[in-house]
A = this chain, B = another copy of it.
Amino acid sequence: MTAYEKMTIEELKAEQKALSKKYGDLKSQGLSLDMSRGKPSTDQLDLSDDILTNVSSTKDAFTPSGTDVRNYGVLDGLPECRQLFADLLEVDVKNVIMDGNASLRVMFDYITQCMLPNALDDGWLAEGKPIKFLCPCPGYDRHFAILDYYHIEMISIDMYDDGPDIEQIKEAIKDEQVKGMFCVPKYSNPTGCTYSDEKVKAIAALKPAAKNFRVIWDNAYIIHDLVEEDEADKLLNIFPEAYKNGTEDMFFEVCSTSKITFSGAGVSAIAASERNIQAILERMGRQFISNDKINQLRHIRFLKDIDTLKAHMAKHRAILAPKFKAVDKAFCEGFSESGIATWSKPKGGYFINLDIMDGTAKRCAELCKEAGVTLTAPGAPFPYGKDPRDRNIRVAPSYPTPEELEISAEILVISARLAAIEKLLEKIG
Contacts and interface: CB of A to CB of B under 8 A. Distances in A.
A265 interface: yes
A401 interface: no
Interface stretch (A25-33, A65-73, A384-392): A65-73
Contacts of A263: 70-72, 289-290
A142 B290 CA distance: 13
Interface string A288-317: 111111110000000000000000000000
Contacts of A55: 52
A56 B58 contact: no
A258 B151 CA distance: 35
A18 interface: no
Given A60-B52, A72-B264, A149-B283, A288 B105 contact: yes
21 contacts: A45-B58, A45-B71, A49-B57, A49-B61, A52-B60, A53-B56, A71-B264, A100-B101, A101-B292, A102-B289, A102-B290, A104-B287, A116-B125, A116-B150, A117-B149, A145-B285, A149-B283, A149-B286, A263-B290, A264-B291, A265-B295
Interface stretch (A4-12, A35-43, A229-237, A245-253): A35-43
A112 interface: yes
A262 interface: yes
Given A40-B71, A53-B56, A72-B39, A102 B265 contact: no
A241 to B, nearest CB: 30
Interface of A: 37, 39-40, 42, 45-46, 48-49, 52-53, 55-58, 60-61, 68-73, 100-102, 104-105, 108-109, 112, 115-117, 125, 142, 145-146, 148-151, 258, 262-265, 282-283, 285-295
A262 to B, nearest CB: 4
Contacts of A39: 71-72
A228 to B, nearest CB: 27
Contact of A112 (B53, B68, B116): B116
Contacts of A46: 58
A146 B39 CA distance: 35
A402 to B, nearest CB: 18
Contacts of A40: 71
B112 A151 contact: no
A70 B288 CA distance: 24
Contact of A295 (B45, B53, B117, B292): B292
A302 to B, nearest CB: 13
A62 to B, nearest CB: 10
Nearest to A296: B265
A319 to B, nearest CB: 14
Contact of A264 (B73, B104, B151): B73
A72 B37 contact: yes
Given A104-B288, A116-B115, A42 B57 contact: no
Given A58-B49, A286-B149, A71 B262 contact: yes
